Every structure is written in structure tokens, then in C-alpha cells.
Chains A and B, each alone.
Chain A
Amino acid sequence: MLNDVTFGQYYPAQSFAHRLDPRLKLLMLIAYIVALFIAKTFYGLALCALFAVFAVFISKVPFGAVLRSVKGVIFLLAFTAVLNVFFHGGENVLVQWGVIRICLEGVLFAVFLMIRLAFLVIGSALLTLTTTPVSLTDGIESLLKPLTWIKFPVHALALIMSIALRFIPTLIDETNRIISAQKARGADFESGNIVKRVKAIIPILIPLLISAFRRADELGDAMDARCYTNSPHRTKYKKLTFTWRDLVAAVAAAALIAGAVLFNVYAYDIWPAAYGYVVML
């Protein structure tokens, strides 16, 4: 049932994007999202899209794998588009059919939102496709480090994430085993109504929970035996380091934001005639 789950969606490859510092990649994603949201024009949006397409290109991740992530939100995309097409007012009426009125402005705005949302998803997907969950955790821990100042348990949080990641494959295996065992005793998980199906999960859930607690107990002992304390004197073996690649990428991200702002400001000067159709917000 859960056999084909390869955890996360990391796509193993050796590329410029894969080798970037995870902290920088997280910051770049934030910059990219900011750029997407401050861009008021199709010009800015096009710049972001170009940036994303180029990033996908150098990451050596197949475009198909990236587009698959958009498939998950296709319903949401369609919904926003339809809503805007019908309810966004405007002057250039394209279709008038009873109360239903479709305007050019509405269509353009719907397209604008769809592109923005789709590229938002593509950007985030690219991060998880090029970064292992482990280094992502390291990156998050490192970025949150300043929060230790306000007594936020950054290290504990990172350890929790790391252990969770570590146990996901183990628990998936375990779930498969329990499902098989109960199926061998005639359990049926695939037919019947909702109530019946939920009930059918109990023989999986209870053994799984019990086993998770047992594992947690044993892991706790193993951690104690390895002298775990949540003391500030802990050291860290893994050190994240910035390289020239990271510098290049950081400059690119800064340029992206600057570009989005510039397009907002100079949208009229680029092509005055198209101004009304290009600026959306």
C-alpha cells in the first residue's frame, strides 16, 4: 500500500543547485516568494518565471518531476481562476450572458493569479527536490539559531525533526507489515463505506501506536546511554559553509527582488500602450 513512498521528494543528482548551502536555499525561496508577491506586473511575473525555469534547468531535475508538484494544487488553481473570471469586474466586457459577465480584466487577473500560484509551488518543490530532508533540517536549525536568545529550544526542535525523519522509513515498513498481517487474517481495507473503512483502520493503528511508544522508549534509553542532555555545551559536528556558489546564488536572488521592484516602477515606460493590461494590482 505504501510501498512506493520514497520519503520527501528529493531527486538525487549532482548539480549547482544541489550543492548550495541549505540555509541559502531557504532564504532564496523566501526571496523568490517575496518577489512573486511584490510583482504587480506581468513583467515582474515573467522575470520570476524565468528565474524559476533557469533554476530548474541548472538543478538537473527533469521538468516533469517539477510539474508533478503543480498537479497537487491544480484544483485550487482552477478554483481561483474560475472565481476571478466570473466575479472580477471590468470595462471590456467579453461575454454577457444574463447575470454572468466576463471581462477581459477578469481573465487577465485570473491568468496572473494562476501563474503566481503555480510558480510559488514550483519554487518550493524545487527546494525539496534538490535538498535532502536532513540538510533541510540542518538549515532550519541554523537559521533559527538567533531564537535561542529568547530561550526558544532550537536544538531540541532540530533533534525532534531529525528523529522524525529517521523514523519515517522505519514506521512505513512497520505499517506495511501490520497491514499485511491483518490482511492475512482477512481484514479488508478497500471496500465499504467511510464508517466501515475508518473502523478497519483500528487493527492497524493500535499496534502501530504501541510499537511507536515501544520504539520511543528504547530510543530514549539509547540516547541516555549516549549521554544526551539538553545542555548548551553540546557541540555540532556538521558545519554549514558558504562557498562561491552560494555567493552567486545570493546575488541572483537579490537581483530578482530588485528586478520585480523595478518592473513595478517602470511598467508604464516600457510599453505605455499595454500599461492597462500588464499592471494587475
Chain B
Amino acid sequence: MEKQQTAGTTPQYGSEIALAFENVKFFYPESQTAAVDGVSLSVKRGEFVSIIGHNGSGKSTLARLACGLLQADEGRISVLGLDLSDEKNVAEVRRHTGIVFQNPDNQTVASIVEDDVAFGPENLGVEREEIGRRIEWALESVGMTKYRHATPSRLSGGQKQRIAVAGMLAIRPDILILDESTAMLDPRGRREVIDVVRRLNSEAGMTILLITHFMEEALLADRTIVMNRGSIVLQGTPDDIFENGEALTTYNLCLPEITEISRMLAAGGIAVPPCLRPEELASHIAACAKERGYSTLASPRTPRAAAPKNGAWDIDVKDLSYTYSASSPFASHALRGVDLHIGDGEFFGIIGHTGSGKSTLIQHLNALIKLPQANKKYKPPKLKKGQTPPTMPQITVGEYDLADKKCNFLSLRADVGMVFQYPEYQLFAETVEEDVAFGLKNFFKDMSAEERRERVRAAIAAVGLDPGEVCGKSPFDLSGGQKRRVAIAGVIVTRPKILVLDEPAAGLDPLGKREIMELLHKLHSEWCRTVIIVSHDMDEIACNCTRAFVVSEGRIFCCDAPHELFARYDELIPLGLDVPLTAKICRALGEYGIDIDCDYTPRGFADAVIAAFKGGRADA
């Protein structure tokens, strides 16, 4: 790869500086505030820079300025020594910069992978044979050679993003920019993309600008830049930046979870130096233990509360199987014999990589996908003598029997609220009030306008917005986070007893994620008896859920409380899943002979370590 890169079209602009911003300002049309406000920045060739910042802090604008997609209003930008204020240089700069965006679906132009990768070189007028070589090289660089003749729309998110990277590589850029390219991916996809980026940096010496919300990704860089309201507010090695937790919180970012844990430990008498990686923290804890003369430590086993008892409202799924496009050559099994039981009042988690069948599963819960025998046209198969009828899947949700044709499905949907992924993309009405009222109008046709108004306002207030302020506004004028809240209000307005959310925090910045989870807890205690979330974020599951369920390849892998679930570390990773940070620390501690039994919340982990130290006995 290295050889090919240097043999390629590396420009002769002798500059050692890949990217230089001098006091750059940028305004979006019709906006008074600068999206990028006086940024000065210089990135060396071969450097790996990560950029973090809350949503709307100007990171994406910065990225688009750097590759010539936007023109600065003030200041000077030069890329590889080419001044971007000169129109003539724009095309040349684009030749040498690649950018990969957030949405894996919106970056490919062709229906076949190799045609798509060919698009860039075709535009540059590269010869046919050379295009062929570039396709080969680009696909090999991202590990997608096998998929050369595949159709992008049938690939996973991580694979699609790698194709997008390959499409950019084919123009042989010197600088690769990733604008939250991993935000919409599951843990497996994220790992795939980040591995490719790291390799390009270390092996091919490519300059990388990585914009991300994930600390573990930002940590991989040589340098981290923090943006807030259009300006660069902090710069330094990732370790320096993240260890300085206080500064982050003032810029609308979150304290890293690991820093929080360190502080809890310090408060409990175990002083550990600041650190950011689970292995480091484990080694610090082990050092502390050694200092005090403990060679082995174990936290006391605490008996766990049993899973909640079945109440009046619970969900019972028996032997659920589902096949997409059953009679076509593209048939795929989404679910195979799933059994699931969710108790009343649970905060339940569903975990699984993309395509594992979890979306299909939740759509059965409110009969968006009906059981076969509940369809009007269904007729039981005729049986010959002595033949036993095939067992059919069964689902009951509270008093609703979903296998019954006569089940009141409309009323079921009012009782089982469902918030889909990126629910803000489903808003449609002229005003927020109308949009939120949509469900009420459908479910309760006889409701008086007065009562409807009251209910809508109550729902908007429940999601943390001010009804007086937003009711009359168009939903499209709100910020991203507000839109999502409005969309959630539109579901809870019917006062569902069960609320199901598919990746409620996807695409939000860390603070936004935290706020949404807080909101869900509030809804759980005040509005809905049972909350079910689908999530990739294991820390989210560990911190919030009473029990969680892991689905893989359409089957249940296991269903248990987080402390049991994440103890199965070695089995989860091969499924393309991640584990919570605390589970990683526990595992690293295990190698030092320290056995921590905890519920995998930061608080629970810190308490367990403190308890282990208290109960520890010096061997000497």
C-alpha cells in the first residue's frame, strides 16, 4: 500500500503543512452568527488530528471548508500550500482531499461497488487501466475486495462507509477527513472504519482529520482539537485534553466516564492518577493494591434483586420466527424461534448489531408486523389424519392477544408507543402542536379539542420543552435535539403503557445522549410503566436497564440483568458487540488477581472496588 501511495500522484507542493487556517470565518446564508468564528489551525503532513465538540459547534463546517466544499468569508485557508481563496485552486484541492460524511446511504452514486469507486477517477479523466488498478488498491485498503461486484444497498453500514472511504481513496487524496463517519454505525461497523483509518495513517502516511463524538476514537489521534461555538477552545494531546475534564464540561461536552470513576475511587480513598484507558486504570488500581500489600482482592458478592415479577402488563413472546420476502430468491430469516418475557415496570434493553433482527422483533410488539395467524386472510393449513398442527408463534402484550384476528390493533398501538430511529425524520405537520396531536386524532377520534390541547401541552412539557414557546412553531425550525423531543412527545401523547424506542440517542452528542437518557428515566417513572430501548451503547444499557436481551442472527443469545450479561465478555465481542467500559476495567483487573463483582454502572463499580479494598487483607 505504501509503495503505491508514493508512486501515485503526490503533489510537488513542497509544503510540510497539509492544512493551514488563518483567522477563518464563515457565515451560513441568512445567519447572523458565524458557524466558524476566527479559527486558526495548522496540521502537518501525516498528522492524525481528532476534532470534538457539541452538535452545532462548527466541526462539520470546518471540514467542508478544508476540502473546498465551502468558501471562507474571511481569513485564509491553504491546503498543501494551495490558497483556497483563489477559485482556480479549488478543483486541485478537492483532488487532494477526501471527505467521508455521516450517512452511509448518501455517498454512493452507482449500484455496483466497483462502478462507484470508479466515479472519482472517471471525473479526473484517469485512464481505464489505471482506474482498474485504483479500484483494486482502494478496495484492498479498506478490506472490501470481496465485494467488488456487490450492491451497496445490500451491505451493512460499516461496509457502506468503507466503500465511501474507498471511493475517496480512488482519487488518491493526501488528506482524508471523516465527518462523524462512525456516528450511524454499530460497534462492529465503527471498529471496521476506524481500523481502516488508522492503517491509512500509519502505513500510507495519510493526513487524517477525524471528527467524532466518541472519546475512544478521539484518543487514537496525535492531537485533539475541541470546538465550541465556532471557535477552537482547546488543543493538545488527547490525553491532556480528556484529563482536563472540567474544561470539557464548560464547552458543553461530558466528563469522560472513566474520569468520573477515578474521582469516585479517590473519594473512597483510592487515589489513582488521571488516565483514560481501561487498562491504565486497572494497572493504577493494582498498583494501589500492591502498595497496601494486597496480592489478591475480591469484592464481596452481593445478592442481586430477582428479575421483576410479572404484573398485569407484560410482554410474552413465544417461538417467534419471521422471514423477509419469503417466496423470493432474496428470502432472509430475520428471526428464528425467539422467546422473550418482559415484566411490568421494567426498563428493558435490546442489544444486537445491525441486521440482527431487533427491529423486526420490536415491530411485532405493536403489530406493525402481524403474526401470520392474525392476518384477515389467514387460513390454517389443512391437516391430514394423524398430523399435528404446526406450532404457531404467540405474542401477548398485557390483555392483548396478538395471535387473535379480532384483537383491537388500533387500541394496542395506543398502548404500546413506538419511537423509531431518528424519529425527527418523521415529523410532517405545519406546527409542533399539530404534529404531536396526530396520534391523538387517530386513536381517540371523539376527544374534544380542549382535551386534546391539554394532552398535547402536557406531552410537550413532559419531554422538557416549553409548550408556550414551541407549540406554534414549525417543527422544522427547531434544533436537532428539540426535534427529537417533539417526535417523542408525539408518541407519548397517547399515554402508552409501554414505550419502545429504537436507538433513542443515536447521532446525538454526548451531552444530548445523557439528556435523552435522563428524559427516558423521567418518562419511565411518570408516564409509561415499561420502557424498552434498543441500543448499541453498552454503557447506556448497563447504567439504565433492569434487564437486557442480546439478539444475534435472529436468535436470542441471552437475556439477563446487565451484571450477568456483561460477565460474558468473551462471547459478546465476537457477536460484533461491545461491552461497557466498567466491564473492560474489571477484565483488566482480573489479570492482576483482583476480582470485582459489580453491576457495571460506574457507581456500582467504584463501590465494589472500594469495598474490595476495605475487605482486603495484607498477605505479609
> B-contacting residues of A (Cβ < 8 Å)?
3-4, 6, 12, 133-134, 159, 162-163, 165-166, 169-170, 173, 177-178, 180-188, 202-203, 206-207, 210-211, 214-215, 218-219, 221-229, 231, 233-239
Contacts and interface: CB of A to CB of B under 8 A. Distances in A.
B128 A184 contact: no
B428 A3 contact: no
A214 B151 CA distance: 22
Contact of A229 (B91, B132, B152): B91
Given A180-B368, A185-B490, A215-B103, 14 more contacts: A134-B111, A182-B426, A185-B413, A185-B442, A186-B413, A186-B414, A187-B442, A188-B410, A203-B438, A222-B164, A227-B120, A227-B124, A235-B122, A236-B122
B574 interface: no
Nearest to A224: B69
Nearest to A179: B368
Contacts, number: 162
Contacts of A188: 410, 442
A177 B120 CA distance: 32
Nearest to A226: B120
A229 B95 CA distance: 12
Given A225-B97, A234-B125, A170 B420 contact: no
Interface of B: 64, 67, 69, 91, 94-95, 97-99, 101, 103, 105-112, 114-115, 118-128, 131-132, 135, 151-153, 164, 167-168, 171, 324-325, 328-330, 363, 366, 368, 410, 413-414, 417-418, 420-421, 423, 425-429, 438-439, 441-443, 476, 490-491, 494
Contacts of A225: 67, 69, 94, 97-99, 168
B420 to A, nearest CB: 5
A211 B103 CA distance: 12
In the A-B complex, the 8 residue pairs with the closest CB atoms: A186-B442, A237-B118, A218-B106, A185-B439, A226-B120, A206-B428, A184-B418, A169-B153
Contacts of B109: 159, 162-163, 166, 219, 222-223
A182 B443 CA distance: 12
A237 B69 contact: no
Contact of A4 (B112, B125, B128, B328): B328
Nearest to A203: B428
B345 to A, nearest CB: 22
B501 to A, nearest CB: 11
A35 B494 CA distance: 64
A186 B420 contact: no
Contacts of B324: 3
Contact of B413 (A134, A173, A183, A202): A183
Contact of B123 (A3, A229, A238): A229
A138 to B, nearest CB: 9
Nearest to A186: B442
Contacts of B152: 166
Contacts of A223: 109, 119
Nearest to B421: A177
A236 B110 contact: no
A51 to B, nearest CB: 28
Contacts of A12: 329
Contacts of B167: 226
Contacts of B132: 237
Nearest to B109: A163
Contacts of A233: 125
A210 B474 CA distance: 14
12 contacts: A6-B325, A166-B152, A169-B151, A170-B105, A183-B368, A185-B442, A215-B106, A222-B101, A227-B120, A229-B123, A238-B115, A239-B128
B559 to A, nearest CB: 24
Contacts of A177: 420-421
Nearest to B493: A185
A227 B94 contact: yes
Contacts of B124: 227
Nearest to A177: B420
B171 A221 contact: no
B110 A184 contact: no
A227 B368 contact: no
Contacts of B111: 133-134, 162, 165-166
Given A6-B325, A222-B101, A225-B94, A237 B121 contact: yes
Given A134-B115, A163-B109, A237-B128, A181 B330 contact: no
A158 to B, nearest CB: 11
A198 B378 CA distance: 28
A94 to B, nearest CB: 43
Nearest to A229: B123
Contacts of B151: 169
Given A134-B111, A162-B111, A235-B125, A221 B69 contact: yes
Nearest to B116: A166
A197 B379 CA distance: 28
B106 A235 contact: no
A184 B417 contact: yes
A70 to B, nearest CB: 20
Contacts of A211: 425
Given A4-B328, A185-B439, A202 B428 contact: yes
Most chain A C-beta atoms within 10 Å of own C-beta, residue among B91, B128, B442, B494:
B442
A222 B128 CA distance: 22
B155 to A, nearest CB: 11
Contact of A170 (B118, B153, B438): B153
Nearest to A239: B128
Nearest to B98: A225
B491 A185 contact: yes
Contacts of A210: 425, 476
B108 A166 contact: yes
B131 to A, nearest CB: 4
Contacts of A159: 109
B327 to A, nearest CB: 8
Most chain A C-beta atoms within 10 Å of own C-beta, residue among B110, B418, B438:
B110
A181 B426 contact: yes
Nearest to A159: B109
Most chain A C-beta atoms within 10 Å of own C-beta, residue among B119, B121, B363, B491:
B119
Contacts of B110: 134, 162, 166
B115 A227 contact: no
A202 B94 CA distance: 40
Contacts of A166: 108-111, 152-153
